[in-house]
Amino acid sequence: MKRKIIIMAKVPRAGNVKTRLQPFLSAEQCRTLAEAFLFDTINKTRNVCDELIIAFSPAPARNYFAGLEDENLTLIEQKGANLGEKMLNAVEFAFGVDSDANVLMIGTDSPTFPAEFIERAFEALESNAETVLGKSEDGGFYLVGLKKTLPHLFNNIEWSSPLVYEQTVRNIAKLDINKLNLIPDWYDVDNPKDLLHLRDEILKNERTQKFAAQTYQWLISNSEVFSSKSSSSLI
């Protein structure tokens, strides 16, 4: 059975990504950090799926990904009035090509969650799970896995709120899906406290430095951010 991963990706542009990290980071630092997250996410998924789909926005920025497309990587524009519609449309695209595939969807805000979690999610779908979720510490989710399109899965969700995971689980229950598999919780990097957590995790773990190599290099290149600001100001 084919394994597919969808990455929901915003093309990094100064002033348009990781804005909750300002003013601790400049707009340009936010852009380069988001870019590191994006490419670490792409690199992490390449060896654990049969096809990678990048659902990107905004539409005019397609050329940003020039040179990445190949027989195992597909680019599609995000389409929809809100995040739920965009995610659903991406899922429908993935299943529209291969209805019997197993599909995972992830974002780029959790660059250090282990690739082993992806393997575990696929294995769950290939056994008896109907849906897989990975909860993020802020109350959202960093991964969702599906065996088929669920049209109402992302309805009535307060995106960017601490209720996202809870409301998604509620929707799963309403859809009479009994075989929900959970993979370990992880964290997103959205605010300065998360950034400090990320720094501490990567600098203490050589394995993480390798599979989040671009994020690690960003931390090294921007070490002055942490030396010029006290930990208390970041938190």
Give the pLDDT score at 153: 96
Q: What is residue 49's three-state secondary structure? A: coil
* Strands, E assignment, 114-211: 131-136, 141-146, 180-186
Choose the CATH number for 3-188 among 3.40.50.720, 2.60.40.1120, 3.90.550.10, 3.40.225.10.
3.90.550.10
Give the pLDDT score at 107: 97
Give the pLDDT score at 1: 86
Give the pLDDT score at 46: 87
Q: Report how far residue 57's alpha carbon sits from residue 68's, in angstroms, rounded to the nearest whole number.
A: 16
The residues spanned by each domain of the chain are: 3-188
Q: Report how far residue 14's alpha carbon sits from residue 30's, in angstroms, rounded to the nearest whole number.
A: 7
pLDDT by 10s per residue, the chain, length 235: 899 999 999 999 999 999 999 999 999 999 999 999 999 999 999 889 999 999 999 989 999 988 787 778 999 999 999 999 999 999 999 999 889 999 999 999 999 999 999 999 999 999 999 999 999 999 999 999 999 999 999 999 999 999 999 999 999 999 988 899 999 999 999 999 999 999 999 999 999 999 999 999 999 999 999 886 554 455 4
* Strands, E assignment, the chain: 3-10, 51-57, 73-77, 102-106, 131-136, 141-146, 180-186
Beta-carbon contacts of 110 under 8 Å, excluding residues fewer than 6 positions away, are 136, 142, 186, 187, 188, 189
51-57 and 102-106 beta bridge pairing: unpaired
Concatenated DSSP letters of 116-135 = HHHHHHHHHHHTT-SEEEEE
Q: What pTM value is reported for the model?
A: 0.94
